[in-house]
Amino acid sequence: MAITLHLCRIPAGRSDLSLPESLAGPGAAALRRRSSRPLSVRCSGEPSPFPASSSSSSVVADGDFDAKVFRHNLTRSKNYNRKGFGHKDETLQLMNREYTSDIIKTLKENGNVYTWGNVTVKLAEAYGFCWGVERAVQIAYEARKQFPDEKIWITNEIIHNPTVNKRLEEMEVENIPLEEGQKQFDVVNKGDVVILPAFGAAVEEMLTLSEKNVQIVDTTCPWVSKVWNTVEKHKKGDYTSIIHGKYAHEETVATASFAGKYIIVKNMKEAMYVCDYILGGELDGSSSTKEAFLEKFKYAVSPGFDPDNDLIKAGIANQTTMLKGETEEIGKLVERTMMRKYGVENVNQHFISFNTICDATQERQDAMYKLVEEKVDLMLVVGGWNSSNTSHLQEIAEERGIPSYWIDSEQRVGPGNRIAYKLNHGELVEKENWLPEGPITIGVTSGASTPDKVVEDVLVKVFDIKREEALQLA
């Protein structure tokens, strides 16, 4: 069956875009360099949405790229899979052997509280692997089972957890190499398998891979896809997407690629700056000139962004791992700003909002807020050091003034009563005698990308330290 695509615009100003060699003819070489204007590709063919050999491919200037249509067609091509390959039971059994924990099982069987020796552990009600992460890892395992001899690549870490990523490396799933910050897709050959991680992949990367006639295994979390749908709605209504996230995070990069006009704000302070600019400095006076605005957000706006024209209509979206409360506050701030600027009666013409907060992120944050109200001597937050959702769990504990230690594996504990941990803002700290003497109560949580086995390994180290202490005092 032939697949026909609509007119597609490749975003201007993107230096990381790989254009297919099949786009030959006058000007083709220039298209492979950094473009100064939107470019269009009209494609039809079989089986890939963008077949490298299609003689009907043509390059047209100043068109409209419909990312939603492109992805719709890509997901229906025979070289695309997002549902696994029929090995679910077998791969889940393997994951259970590798990632589950008897200690966590004991805690769950006893109301999430249990005492080993002189250590009482209180486990958060929601913690660890979320459904989207488990699904992504399981499909990646299936890919190796389905393609035992093929070269398998992955565009980014499958999730932000070193234990899981190391396991995939052992299975010979290789990262696309980077050179000067750019992914080198030229290493990928026809017939290879390429996994898209739980965070998703940018449209430009999907375009490049579809040209190569590779097997695409898409493990993108459905919650991330929901955010993509939201920014598509913003684009359709000519609203600029204000994305609450970290501009260099893989998920936010992917989300921005589906947006039209966008600006990425990391926190409430940056959102205040944007809203102050909208109001001409009458909110808190934090903003200044247009030039200063563009310098501040030079890595966090769409190409050609003009704050004078592109902040008249705005919609809110978020990186799914950000703090729920902060996303909501940013949304309320932008809505109030538009009311003040254009009048309450006109706010719907200038502001739009959809709920894009991930259930799993919200549940873990809510559980952490509840856990910090418990009587604990300290908190252990276990998760990858580049994990955004884990950083916010650490943030909740720090804000309550509880001694809290964010570590990515048991290797950060020891030798002896020593720990190397990370603070929410990124500082790496080493501390001696971090475990108090005598009986202690520890609160424990873990990020949405953290297997239970990693938490168990950390707790075993804690039990060993306290056991050694008891022997010395005996």
Spatial distance between the Cα atoms of 6 and 69, rounded to a whole number of angstroms: 7
The β-bridge partners of 314 are 240, 351
Instruction: Please say if 251 is a catalytic residue.
Output: yes
Q: Please, are residues 421 and 355 in contact by the beta-carbon 8 Å criterion?
A: no
Q: How far apart are CA 396 and CA 468, in angstroms?
A: 31
Burial 172-189 (b: 16+ CB within 10 A, else e): ebeebeeeeeebebeebe
Contacts of 422 (CB under 8 A, 6+ apart): 385, 394, 406, 407, 408, 428, 429
Q: Of the residues 157, 251, 398, 410, which is catalytic?
A: 251
The CA-atom distances, in angstroms, between 44 and each of 34, 48, 63, 418 are: 25, 9, 16, 61
428-432 and 418-422 strand pairing:
antiparallel
Q: Are 407 and 454 in contact (CB under 8 A)?
A: no
DSSP secondary structure string for all residues of 336-395: HHHHHHH-GGGGGGTEEE-----HHHHHHHHHHHHHTTS--SEEEEES-TT-HHHHHHHH
Element (H, E) at 265: strand 262-265
* 8 A C-beta contact, residue 323 and residue 268: no
Q: What span, in angstroms and rounded, lies between the C-alpha atoms of 196 and 218?
A: 5
Two tokens at 343? 């009048």
Which residues are known catalytic residues?
Answer: 251
